[in-house]
Amino acid sequence: MRAFKPYLDIDLAALCRNYRRLADMAPASEAASVVKCDAYGLGAAAVGAALMRHGKCRSFFVAYCGEGAALREALGSDPDIYIFNGPFETDLDAFREFRLIPVVNTIDQARLWAIEMKSAPAAIHIDTGMHRLGMPLNEAQDAAAADGLNVSLVMSHLACASDPAHPMNARQRAAMARLAALFPAARLSLSSSGGALLGAPFAYDMTRLGVGLYGVSPHETAVDQIEPVVRLSAPVLQVQEIEAGETVGYGASFTADRKSVLATVALGYGDGFPRAGSNRAAAVLGGAPCPIAGRVSMDLIVLDATDAPNRPDIGDRAEFFGPAMPIDAVAKACGTIGYELLTAIGGLAKRQSALGLRVERRYLWNGAPADATIAGE
Ligand SMILES: *Cc1c(COP(=O)(O)O)cnc(C)c1O
């Protein structure tokens, strides 16, 4: 039976291969996985389970304590789960109950953890130039002295990992040497996926891999090192022909310059597809990329299929990103980045359920439906 709704297909085997490729760039370091924001919209429970079982990943990072608690329930007691945003007084019970490891970002968080949690391990985030989260080096000295703080990991974050030639990368790496001297017993971590692609000197004891796992290239030179993981497709609801001079969609922002074949598909900004892709992005349909004609609506997008080798039919599926339509190029056409496309669309997508269904998330293993034990079902 053909379903007339969009699908977000997630190939967990491809995810695990990306994990292995990025991990193998620095075989001496541990490769941790970043599964914040529900694994960039792909489902942290399924992604985490696949990376643990098939990738042998044993450390995960999320932003919030609540995300960590849910991940602990999904993955069981084995993995280390780190919380980027650090400990707050209101969260301490959950940190205890779910055995979560905080990333301590301020001297106050260091004191809170040392006093309330005694010798439970903590990571500490030192700012080496990004000025987002983390404490400056001089405060880190006080944190190091804070009574009883058991620092197991010292991390920092690269501001310009998406640009391998940026001088900031070398500067931040130089700062890591001073951190290592301050915390001789702790493991060190600096790199996200972009940093991991900068090579072993940036890997230290642990890399924190995010977007590259999910098939988005951390930088343009890395496109062939990362394979696609996610495919967004939407079905054709209606096909029509219009004459030259006729217009399409709200605001009549597209005017046909010839007799044209239009395919209206079931996807829109209500599903997280950016309205900024109006008249700019394209989707593969009928064997070729077909440009979006006119504005993206809440539920609908019209594709200009005039040049497609095969005339589309009702129920055919247009691929908005995936193996045939690179997500990085689509993001660029929409004036954004792959991260935002994934979290926006994946965040609204749901597993099969009786009600309220729009985009349906489906898990695959090398193209076939994934084993039901994956995703903790
Ligand atoms: C999100 C995040 C990562 C992962 O980054 P990617 O670019 O997705 O690989 C790593 N470290 C920190 C601190 C992050 O916030």
The whole-angstrom separation of Cα 104 and Cα 125 is 6
Q: For 30-90, give the DSSP string.
A: EEEEE-HHHHHTT-HHHHHHHHHHHH---EEEESSHHHHHHHHHHH-SSSEEEETT---GG
Counting from 1 in the atom list of ligand 1, the atom nearest the Cα of 162 is 7
DSSP 8-state assignment for residue 257: S
| 67: its two tokens | 């995300």
Q: What is the pTM of this model?
A: 0.96
Residue type, 308: A
Counting from 1 in the atom list of ligand 1, the atom nearest the Cα of 133 is 13
Cβ–Cβ under 8 Å, residues 43 and 10: yes
Domains, the chain, ordered by start = 12-214 (3.20.20.10), 230-346 (2.40.37.10)
* Among protein residues, the one whose CA lies closest to atom 4 of ligand 1: 210
> Cα of 266 to ligand 1 centre, how many Å?
32
Tens digit of pLDDT at every position of the chain (377 positions): 678 999 999 999 999 999 999 999 999 999 999 999 999 999 999 999 999 999 999 999 999 999 999 999 999 999 999 999 999 999 999 999 999 999 999 999 999 999 999 889 999 999 999 999 999 988 988 887 877 899 999 999 999 998 889 999 999 999 988 888 889 899 999 999 999 999 899 999 999 999 999 999 988 776 678 999 999 999 999 999 999 999 999 999 999 999 999 999 999 999 999 999 999 999 999 999 999 999 999 999 999 999 999 999 999 999 999 999 999 999 999 999 999 999 999 988 876 554 457 899 999 999 999 976 665 54
> Cα of 40 to ligand 1 centre, how many Å?
11
Pocket of ligand 1 (CB under 6 A): 34, 36, 84, 157, 192-194, 208-212, 218
Active site residues: 36, 250
To test the pocket of ligand 1, the residue of 15, 60, 208, 328 to mutate (highest count of ligand atoms within 8 Å of its CB) is 208
* Among protein residues, the one whose CA lies closest to atom 11 of ligand 1: 192
Counting from 1 in the atom list of ligand 1, the atom nearest the Cα of 34 is 4
DSSP 8-state assignment for residue 151: E
> Cα of 208 to ligand 1 centre, how many Å?
6
